[in-house]
């Protein structure tokens, strides 16, 4: 395991006794928790917020993370870092008029000192007006992403907006074999939480998206979204329906460390259980010190 601090390999100066990296797809930043013994020489460097940290381990790369806190106790240090610098949490009011999605993502990324990447999304998507409501950059983008069926992930110094529909169409990166007697596997299915449809209704437009596979009549009507035309209203309805209903079916797996298991990759499941089929990795916790990976996957869903 190699630990880089501000671009310098300090592995030989510390004794790592715990190292957990959490790789998430949306709603939160990736995080890294490290515990080290005999790190007093390193700590005298003067660790400060937003110093960069990176771990390389057996083909796995955490990407650049930013120091959030250091907790010293005698000669033991616990370090917390996230994939977002502190600037991403700075709250502000603001508005975007006649701007494209690409322009908005790049503007907010630049505010945080980050780059921007879009995957499977029409960068020219246009918004007549959007209001940032005393939110940090990451929180505002996450809210916009949910309307568009998109996850906003910060990784390696960049905001990455990834269409869920696009990610679901990619070739599977892994095939997992699961049997009914397999330990450390949990499969849950809650069809009753699904929406049969969502209607977006504003003074300017109204549109409805349906999930033909969802039963019941749980069908919310949303009137507080900034949809100025039918195309935008339908896009928001489909995006919100997808993001909600995909949470109804989950698969949690714990196994030996797998460097290739990362959020937003496609996975196929085979075996003799109801979990067979196509999945998208939602989040992974890698215990790099103990060689363990725990992943949560969500069923591939078509709206």
Same domain, 113 and 139: yes
**Which of 140, 166, 192 is the last residue before a domain boundary?**
166
Read off the pTM.
0.93
- Alpha-carbon torsion angle 203, 209, 214, 216, nearest 10: 30
Instruction: Using a pLDDT cut of 90, give the percent of the chain over it.
Output: 86
pLDDT band at 292 (very low <50, low <70, confident <90, very high): very high
Mean pLDDT in residue range 251-269: 96
Same domain, 41 and 91: no
Same domain, 180 and 261: yes
Per-residue pLDDT tens digits for 22-69: 999 988 899 999 999 877 777 777 889 999 999 999 999 999 999 999
Instruction: List the CATH number of the domain containing 159.
Output: 3.55.50.10
Domains in the chain, number: 3
Same domain, 259 and 184: yes
Range of the domain at 207: 174-299
Measured at the CA of 15, the angle between CA 10 and CA 20, to 5 degrees, comes to 90
The DSSP element (H or E) to which 142 belongs, if any, is helix 137-147
- Select from 161, 170, 151, 155 the least CA-distant residue to 247: 151
Same domain, 115 and 41: no
């Amino acid at each position: 395991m190699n630990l880089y601090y501000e671009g310098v390999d300090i592995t030989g100066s510390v004794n790592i006794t715990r190292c957990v990296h959490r790789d998430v797809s949306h709603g939160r930043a990736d995080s890294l928790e490290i515990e080290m013994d005999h790190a007093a020489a390193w700590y005298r460097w003067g660790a400060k917020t937003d110093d960069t940290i990176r771990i390389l381990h057996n083909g796995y790369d955490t990407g650049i993370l930013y120091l959030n806190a250091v907790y010293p106790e005698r000669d033991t240090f616990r370090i917390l870092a996230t994939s977002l610098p502190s600037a991403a949490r700075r709250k502000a009011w603001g508005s975007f008029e006649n701007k494209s999605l690409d322009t908005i993502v790049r503007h907010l990324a630049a505010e945080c000192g980050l780059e921007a990447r879009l995957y499977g999304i029409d960068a020219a998507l246009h918004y007549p007006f959007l209001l940032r409501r005393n939110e940090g950059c990451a929180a505002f983008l996450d809210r916009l992403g949910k309307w568009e069926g998109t996850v906003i992930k910060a990784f390696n110094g960049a905001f990455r907006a990834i269409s869920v529909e696009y990610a679901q169409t990619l070739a599977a990166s892994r095939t997992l074999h699961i049997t009914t007697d397999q330990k450390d596997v949990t499969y849950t299915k809650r069809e009753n939480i699904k929406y049969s449809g969502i209607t977006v209704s504003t003074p300017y437009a109204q549109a409805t998206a349906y999930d033909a596979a969802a039963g019941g009549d749980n069908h919310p009507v949303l009137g507080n979204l900034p949809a100025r035309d039918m195309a935008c209203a339908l896009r928001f309805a489909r995006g919100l329906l997808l993001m909600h209903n995909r949470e109804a079916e989950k698969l949690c797996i714990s196994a030996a460390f797998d460097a290739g298991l990362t959020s937003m990759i496609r996975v196929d499941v085979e075996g003799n259980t109801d979990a067979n089929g196509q999945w998208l990795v939602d989040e992974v916790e890698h215990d790099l010190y103990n060689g363990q990976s725990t992943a949560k996957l969500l069923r591939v869903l078509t709206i």
